[in-house]
């Protein structure tokens, strides 16, 4: 999740993202994650706190119509 390798397996990476979003816990923790391709969170719902502290987006990040129910 923290690798800056631009060739890392994006499908596996995004499956982890979706699993985190599916959790109903207190925090969706993306601390230090490196997004090496477009990150499309359009329409996503963050039911817990969304923590992107020190996350890196090397390409576009789309949060259009995302719902943040707690702190971000």
Per the domain annotation, does 14 fall within a domain? yes
End-to-end, the C-alpha distance of the chain in Å comes to 19
What pLDDT was estimated at residue 41?
97
Residue (of 32, 34, 38, 31) closest to 3 by Cα position: 34
Render pLDDT for 22-38 as a digit per residue (tens, 0 to 9).
988 789 999 999 999 99
Per the domain annotation, does 20 fall within a domain? yes
Per the domain annotation, does 57 fall within a domain? yes
Per the domain annotation, does 1 fall within a domain? no
Per the domain annotation, does 3 fall within a domain? no
Per the domain annotation, does 63 fall within a domain? yes
Our count of domains for the chain comes to: 1
Q: What is the pTM of this model?
A: 0.88
Q: Domain span at residue 48?
A: 10-68
Render pLDDT for 35-56 as a digit per residue (tens, 0 to 9).
999 999 999 999 999 999 999 9
What pLDDT was estimated at residue 65?
97
């Amino acid at each position: 999740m923290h690798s800056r390798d631009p060739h890392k397996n994006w499908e596996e990476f995004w499956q982890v993202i979706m699993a985190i979003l599916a959790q109903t816990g207190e925090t969706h923790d993306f601390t230090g994650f490196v997004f090496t391709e477009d990150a499309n969170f359009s329409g996503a719902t963050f039911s817990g706190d969304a923590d992107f502290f020190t996350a890196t987006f090397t390409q576009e990040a789309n949060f259009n119509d995302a719902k943040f129910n707690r702190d971000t």
